[in-house]
Amino acid sequence: MKRFVLFSFLVLAMGGFSLAQIDREQVRKLVDTYKNAALKVKVIITYWSVFGGQESSKEETKYEVMGTVIDKNGTIVTSAFAVDPSKLFQRLFSEEGGYQMKSELKEIKIILPDNKEVEGKIVLRDDKLDLVFLRPKSPPQDGQFNSVDLDNSTEPQILDEVISIQRMDEDVDRTIFVALSRIGGIITKPRLYYLSMDMLEPGTPVFSLDGKLVGLNTVRVTETEGSSYRFFSTATSSPVSSVILPAKTIKESAAQIKE
pLDDT number for residue 44: 95
How far is Cα 9 from Cα 2, in angstroms, rounded to an integer?
11
How far is Cα 8 from Cα 16, in angstroms, rounded to an integer?
12
CA angle 255, 118, 29 (to 5 degrees): 70
Cis peptide before 190 (omega within 30 of 0): yes
pLDDT number for residue 91: 63
Residue 245: strand pairing partners: 216
How far is Cα 75 from Cα 62, in angstroms, rounded to an integer?
22
Tell me the pTM: 0.83
User: Are 203 and 82 in contact, with CB atoms under 8 Å apart?
Assistant: yes
Sketch out the chain's domains with CATH numbers: 24-35+149-254 (2.40.10.10), 37-136 (2.40.10.10)
How far is Cα 34 from Cα 15, in angstroms, rounded to an integer?
26
Instruction: Please report which residue ranges of the chain form alpha helices under DSSP H.
Output: 2-21, 24-34, 80-83, 85-92, 247-254
Instruction: Write out the chain's pLDDT in tens, 259 residues.
Output: 444 444 444 444 444 435 547 788 999 999 999 999 999 999 999 988 887 778 888 899 999 999 999 999 999 999 999 999 887 666 666 555 567 788 889 999 999 999 999 999 999 999 889 999 999 999 888 888 999 999 999 999 999 999 999 999 999 999 999 999 999 999 998 899 999 998 889 999 999 999 999 999 998 876 544 444 444 444 444 445 689 999 999 999 999 997 7
Which residues does 133 contact at the CB level (< 8 Å), separation at least 6? 75, 76, 77, 122, 123, 124, 125, 126, 253, 254, 257
CA angle 143, 145, 146 (to 5 degrees): 95
Residue 98: strand pairing partners: none
